[in-house]
């Protein structure tokens, strides 16, 4: 029952007290048998005990074993008294200790295994004879009514004493909850004790002696029961081992994935593994005993930053303080990570810990703003450990702090950001050295390769390569000059033929396709195609992240010599000549995705690394053609001043909302900036622009996360409120108006400009089932409101 040193001082005292008491009981029993020998049939019981004790079945996933030897222990007590029963149980324990000593050579284990059952049966058997008021059956026959109730009590007390003596020594050594150990490992053994007492009563309850005929009948039954139970337990044990192997593989896969994601950031590399070790240690010291919760904390510590996959790397690695907008994006990682992990059916509560590990004790955290003990205990533990490791690690925006500085910051945040009890316990455990990270998961050289691959400079261009590229200089310069001359004057469709003519002289391609990004549909469309087989491709739409060009659009990276079928599907096979490879690069303007330029070749590897470099340079020049053009406005669908989506996109979104379901409920808030022209005249155009942006900020702050704000006209905005009726929309509009009115725009030092907006709500389908009809109602309603307000003022 004991497996090596690990006892506290009190645990050692308990261990040796039980051993001393047990050996005292054994010595007294041996002495009594010497001065008052029992009959020769006792030796039959002793032999049966030795044989049955060798046939022990270990219960899977517990600390307990089961055998049929208890039957003969009860029989010895009933026939010959406590001394004989104590010696018999010692013989059973000797057999068990012999088998255990082959696995673990620990004298204190063997001594305890002898002492605990001997002490238990000695005490329980004396209680039996006191309660029953009888003598051993070989001396004096007794009525059944006197034996049975006391025998049940004997079995229960014997089981309770033996199981709890063992439970406490395991709890002391392994620092586990004794009630949990007893429930998990021993509670069901009570049936074995009651069954053994029943069989013993059948053996000697009527004859008051060992009848070999009865023994001959019962022993085969016990053997059948033993082999049946052993076979069943072996199968259970095999299933448990298989489940454990699958679980290890499952967790190893998750850990490897988490560490590979962690490795992409050379600054925070190793963070999640350190957090995992420290969080598990802190959880145990805090008092977490539930195995499932401990496993959940370990898994959540590995996966808590999974949601950072949704955060742009420029934010993660920004060498300075995040802006408010950037911090809002960073805050998404908690809920995004939880949403990703919710698709996995964890057998323990990982998702709540990941979702809430940035909640604060006082309720000021995110994403849910819960506080106090409403925050899962695992999340409270993880947040403290995560903060400490972040403070004591280098970050892009600051060097690491010392342990003392980090502890001082934790102390400042105690009670407002972090659970005081968790912080206090963390201070206690931190006196030990920080845990070393064992070598688990992918080898460190593999992870370092990932890091180096993300940071390594591009290969140097040799003189031969320069010569090859220089040979194409005239064509590239021609593209540059075209881009400069055409920028802002024509659309890409008008210029694509000329561009491709020069580009084909540098990069041989059978087909050139300009895919244009559609922000509403979130896909790319083949709008401009140059090549003999263009009719097969024109109008093709590819979702972002899908196919070849969709992947390029989503990841904004050039790809070389991938299979053309990834874009064109079976169409590529039907083309003559058949297109086999593709060179694709994103078209970006001011870091905004405009589309993708894809070149297709009939050769399997029709493009080189040189072609990749050329197309990336040319792509930057091509995008200049869009700047200032009407086509760019249509593609970007963003207002230049405010960055809001414009009227074109409002039309498409309303049309897309109404078309599948004409009864879809939504409300449009038309928000008009009052007196903008007067502000422009009195204070200048810049002041007017500042006023617009000021209003936009307050309007956006008054909207909900699911609402969308558009710029409708020069001084007018429209907010689309999904699933919102007119009454709720009017309440939102009134609050926005109050906020704008109470927030004048500072201008020219001490000057300020009073601002006002008019807000008109129209709902679909009550006020109309199309955007034009809704606009007409809104304008009519706005004129009516203006008339009534004017009449009220004049009156």
Tell me the pLDDT band of 707, cut-offs 50, 70 and 90.
confident
Residue 316 has pLDDT above 70, yes or no: yes
Q: Please tell me whether residue 57 adopts helix, strand or coil conformation.
A: strand
> Do residues 278 and 286 make contact, with C-beta atoms less than 8 angstroms apart?
no
pLDDT at position 473 over 70 = no
How many Å apart are CA 774 and CA 762, to the nearest integer? 6
673-685 per-position pLDDT tens digit: 887 777 877 777 7
* DSSP code at position 645: B
Per-residue pLDDT at 99:
54
Look at residue 580 and tell me whether its pLDDT is greater than 50.
Answer: yes
pLDDT digits (tens, 9 = 90+) for 260-275: 666 555 445 567 778 8
In terms of Cα–Cα distance, which of 185, 227, 187, 196 is closest to 49? 196
Confidence band, pLDDT 50/70/90 cuts, at residue 471 = very low
CA dihedral angle for residue 141, residue 143, residue 144, residue 146, rounded to 10 degrees: -110
Cβ–Cβ < 8 Å for 299, 257: no
Q: Which three-class secondary structure state does DSSP give residue 218?
A: helix
Residues facing 593 on adjacent strands: 588
- pLDDT level of residue 767 (50, 70, 90 thresholds): confident
Q: How many residues does the chain have?
A: 795
- Spatial distance between the Cα atoms of 487 and 485, rounded to a whole number of angstroms: 6
Return all residues near 777 (Cβ < 8 A) that are at least 6 apart. Answer: 762, 767, 768
What pLDDT, on the 0 to 100 scale, is given for residue 355?
Answer: 93
The average pLDDT across 417-433 equals: 84
pLDDT of amino acid 370: 93
User: Mean pLDDT, to the nearest integer, of 36-48?
Assistant: 71
pLDDT of residue 750: 46
Segment 493-497 mean pLDDT: 62
Q: Decide which of 512 and 50 is more confident.
A: 512
C-alpha–C-alpha distance, residues 129 and 150, integer Å: 8
- Residues 596-653 have pLDDT tens digits of 999 988 888 888 887 888 788 778 777 766 655 544 554 555 666 777 887 777 777 7
What radius of gyration do the chain's Cα atoms show? 40
Residue 232 in this model has a pLDDT that exceeds 70: no
Please state whether beta strands 523-530 and 511-518 pair in parallel, antiparallel, or not at all (unpaired).
Answer: antiparallel
- Comparing 644 with 222, the larger pLDDT belongs to 644
Contact 712, 652 (CB under 8 A): no
Give pLDDT tens digits for 63-110: 556 666 777 787 888 888 888 888 888 877 776 666 555 555 567 777
Could you tell me what percent of the chain has a pLDDT over 90? 9
- Give the mean pLDDT of 309-325: 72
Mean residue pLDDT across the chain: 75
**Residues 220, 222, 227, 233, Cα dihedral to 10°:** 170
User: What band does 451 get if pLDDT is binned at 50, 70 and 90?
Assistant: very low
Q: What is the 3-state secondary structure (H, E, C) of 526-587?
A: EEEEECCCHHHCCCCEEECCCHHHHHHHHHCCCEEEEECHHHHCCHHHHCCCCCCEEEEEEE
Top mean pLDDT of 135-144, 553-562, 619-628 is at: 553-562
488: confidence class by pLDDT, cuts 50, 70, 90: very low
Give the pLDDT band of residue 426 (cuts 50, 70, 90): very high
Q: Which of 66, 46, 48 is nearest to 58 (CA)?
A: 66
Average pLDDT (746-760) is 72
Contact criterion met (CB below 8 Å) for 664 and 754:
no
What does each C-alpha distance from 80 to 116, 144, 156, 208, 384 come to in angstroms? 21, 17, 20, 10, 63
- On the question of a cis peptide bond just before residue 577, with omega within 30 degrees of 0, the verdict is yes
Confidence at residue 541, expressed as pLDDT on a 0 to 100 scale: 84
Of the candidates 204, 389, 206, 181, which has an alpha carbon nearest to the alpha carbon of residue 289? 181
Q: Which residue has the higher pLDDT, 380 or 181?
A: 380
């Amino acid at each position: 029952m004991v497996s090596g040193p690990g006892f506290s001082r009190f645990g050692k005292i308990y261990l040796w007290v039980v051993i001393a008491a047990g050996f005292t009981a054994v010595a007294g029993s041996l002495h009594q048998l010497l001065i008052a020998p029992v009959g020769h049939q006792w030796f039959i019981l002793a032999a049966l005990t030795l044989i049955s004790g060798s046939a022990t079945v270990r219960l899977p996933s517990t600390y307990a074993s089961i055998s049929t030897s208890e039957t003969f222990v009860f029989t010895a007590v009933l026939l010959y008294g406590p001394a004989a029963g104590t010696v018999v149980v010692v013989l059973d324990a000797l057999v068990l200790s012999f088998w255990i000593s082959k696995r673990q050579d620990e004298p204190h284990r063997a001594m305890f295994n002898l002492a605990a059952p001997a002490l238990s049966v000695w005490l329980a058997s004396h209680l039996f004879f006191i309660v029953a008021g009888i003598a051993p059956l070989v001396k004096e026959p007794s009525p059944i009514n006197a034996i049975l109730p006391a025998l049940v009590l004997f079995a229960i007390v014997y089981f309770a004493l033996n199981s709890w003596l063992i439970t406490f020594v395991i709890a002391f050594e392994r620092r586990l909850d004794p009630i949990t150990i007893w429930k998990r490992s021993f509670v069901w053994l009570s049936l074995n004790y009651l069954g053994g007492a029943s069989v013993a009563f059948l053996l000697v309850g009527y004859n008051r002696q060992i009848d070999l005929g009865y023994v001959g009948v019962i022993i085969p039954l016990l053997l059948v029961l033993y082999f049946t139970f052993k076979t069943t337990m072996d199968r259970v044990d095999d299933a448990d081992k298989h489940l454990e192997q699958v679980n290890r593989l499952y967790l190893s896969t998750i850990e490897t994935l988490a560490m590979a994601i962690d490795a992409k950031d050379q600054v925070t590399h190793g963070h999640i593994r350190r957090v995992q070790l420290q969080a598990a240690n802190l959880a145990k010291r805090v008092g977490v005993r539930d195995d499932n919760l401990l496993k959940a904390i370990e898994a959540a510590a590995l996966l808590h930053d999974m949601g950072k996959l949704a955060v742009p790397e420029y934010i993660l690695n920004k060498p300075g303080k995040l802006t408010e907008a950037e911090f809002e994006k960073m805050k998404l990682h908690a809920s995004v990570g939880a949403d990703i992990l919710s698709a996995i059916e964890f057998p323990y509560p990982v998702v709540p810990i990941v979702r809430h590990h940035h909640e604060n004790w006082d309720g000021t955290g995110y994403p849910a703003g819960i506080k106090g003990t409403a925050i899962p205990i695992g999340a409270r533990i993880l947040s403290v450990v995560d903060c400490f490791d972040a403070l004591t690690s280098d970050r892009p925006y600051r060097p690491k702090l010392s342990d003392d500085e980090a502890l001082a910051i934790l102390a400042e945040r105690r009670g407002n950001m972090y659970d005081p009890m968790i912080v206090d316990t963390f201070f206690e455990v931190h006196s030990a050295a920080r845990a070393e990270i064992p070598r688990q998961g992918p080898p460190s050289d593999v992870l370092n390769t990932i890091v180096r691959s993300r940071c390594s400079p591009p290969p140097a261009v040799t003189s031969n390569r320069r010569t090859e590229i220089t040979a194409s200089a005239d064509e590239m310069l021609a593209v540059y000059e075209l881009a400069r001359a055409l920028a802002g004057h024509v659309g890409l469709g008008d210029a694509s033929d000329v561009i491709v003519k020069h580009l084909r002289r540098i990069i041989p391609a059978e087909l050139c396709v300009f895919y244009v990004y559609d922000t509403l549909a979130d896909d790319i469309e083949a709008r401009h195609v140059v090549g003999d087989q263009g009719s097969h491709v024109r109008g093709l739409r590819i979702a972002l992240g899908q196919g070849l060009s969709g992947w390029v659009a989503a990841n904004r990276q050039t790809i070389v010599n991938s299979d053309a079928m990834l874009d064109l599907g079976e169409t590529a096979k039907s083309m003559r000549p058949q297109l086999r490879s593709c060179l694709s690069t994103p078209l970006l303007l001011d870091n905004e995705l405009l589309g993708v330029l894809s070149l297709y070749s009939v050769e399997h590897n029709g493009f080189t690394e040189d072609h990749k470099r050329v197309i990336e340079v040319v792509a930057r020049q091509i995008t200049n053609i869009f700047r200032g053009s009407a086509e760019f406005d249509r593609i970007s669908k963003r207002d230049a001043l405010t960055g809001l989506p414009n009227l074109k996109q409002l039309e498409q979104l309303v049309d897309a909302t109404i078309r599948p379901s004409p009864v879809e409920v939504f409300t449009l808030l038309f928000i008009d900036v009052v007196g903008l022209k007067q502000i422009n005249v009195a204070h200048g155009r810049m002041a007017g622009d500042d006023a617009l942006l000021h209003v936009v900020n307050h309007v956006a702050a008054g909207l909900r996360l699911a609402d969308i704000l558009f710029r409708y006209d020069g001084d007018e905005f429209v907010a689309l409120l999904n699933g919102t009726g007119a009454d709720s929309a009017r309440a939102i509009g009134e609050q926005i108006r109050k906020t704008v009115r109470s927030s004048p725009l500072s201008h020219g030092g001490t000057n300020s400009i009073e601002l006002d907006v008019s807000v008109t709500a129209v709902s679909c389908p009550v006020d109309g089932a199309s955007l034009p009809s809704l606009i007409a109602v809104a304008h009519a309603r706005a004129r009516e409101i203006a008339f009534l307000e004017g009449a009220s003022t004049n009156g």
